[in-house]
Amino acid sequence: MKAIEIEHLGKSIAGHEILRDVSLDVQQGDIFAFLGPNGAGKTTTMRIVLGLLNATAGSALVLGEDLSTSKEMRRKVGVLFERHGLYERLTVRDNLDHYARLFGIGDRQRKVEEVMEEVGIKDRGDDAVFTLSTGLKRRAGLARALLGEPEVLFLDEPTSSLDPQAQKDFRTIIQDLGQRRRMTVFLNTHNLDEVQRICSRVAILDRGSVRLSGTMEEIRSPKSMEVEVVLSDEGAAREAVSRLLTDSRVMEAESRGATVDMSLQSPIWVKELVEWGWDVKEYRIRSRTLDEVYFEVLGQGATA
């Protein structure tokens, strides 16, 4: 079942087109990354999906409902924007109790303790929010988003401005939530490392249009077969390149030391290389990294 369904979404402000024919699906249980540079339209898309902003064209549904008109469905959604949305002078526990009361949650005390435990801040429950590090504030904001036991969780640049350890800790929490709660996560980010580590599906947005979408395996599949072969020495590698460039299956070939890198239109397997008389030490088929895909799609001038 589709947790999120966006069809032909468009948004214009003062004649300026912010989003252009954006369509994508997110399946239930996915940790989905909406990737793109700053200003690509990621947050605008998320605000429309959440019913916080009207679209100029198209539609956006969450669990089959339009959040701009379905108040009941909003209870099944959790949201964490880059700003945590907590009262700085209140303690973490008092903040969460306040929001639990606003959300109409029964047995507030139990629920508040439960979400603090889930995000690893139970020992800081009596501390005022302003005393927390940026990473702990972000976790407290996540605890607030989890109070209503959402089926879908929206995160907008959740690890922005966090140090490497805090980023790692936050990623671990999100992975655990996805696995344990079977929760769908919609992640707005430009952090490629984060996406590669935790996400199952990805869409890349640039200047208001979706340029590429699919599973991590699909988008990293090369258009050609990229092979790396290690031979006995540099001379053998140079001779191998000369031989390869006469083969119609080979798009590119070059040597670096004793290693030969080649791009193939169709496979040349290690058995065939040995039959050619090559002393093959190693044979590796290389997958593209998400970084390579991202910069290929957006161009070398893009910034992650």
| Per-position DSSP letters for 177-226, written without gaps between them | HHHHH--EEEEEE--HHHHHHH-SEEEEEETTEEEEEEEHHHHHS-SSEE
Centroid of chain to Cα 102: 31
pLDDT for 301: 47
CATH class belonging to 2-220: alpha beta
Q: pLDDT tens for residues 122-132?
A: 999 999 999 99
Q: pLDDT tens for residues 275-287?
A: 999 999 999 988 7
- CATH numeric code, 225-285: 3.30.70
pLDDT for 95: 97
Sequence-distant (≥ 6) Cβ neighbours of residue 112 within 8 angstroms: 93, 96, 97, 100, 125, 147
Q: pLDDT tens for residues 232-244?
A: 999 999 999 999 9
The residue written with tokens 């119609």 in the block is 248
Q: What residues does each domain of the chain span?
A: 2-220, 225-285
Task: For residues 159-166, give the mean pLDDT.
Answer: 91
Q: pLDDT tens for residues 79-107?
A: 998 887 899 999 999 999 999 999 999 89
Same fold, 2-220 and 225-285: no
The residue written with tokens 């970084």 in the block is 291
pLDDT for 222: 65
Q: Judge contact between 204 and 35, C-beta under 8 A.
A: yes
Helix (H, G, I), strand (E, B) or coil at 122: helix
Instruction: Return the higher-pLDDT residue of 121 and 304.
Output: 121
What's the pLDDT band for 154 if we cut at 50, 70, 90?
very high
Q: Judge contact between 62 and 47, C-beta under 8 A.
A: no
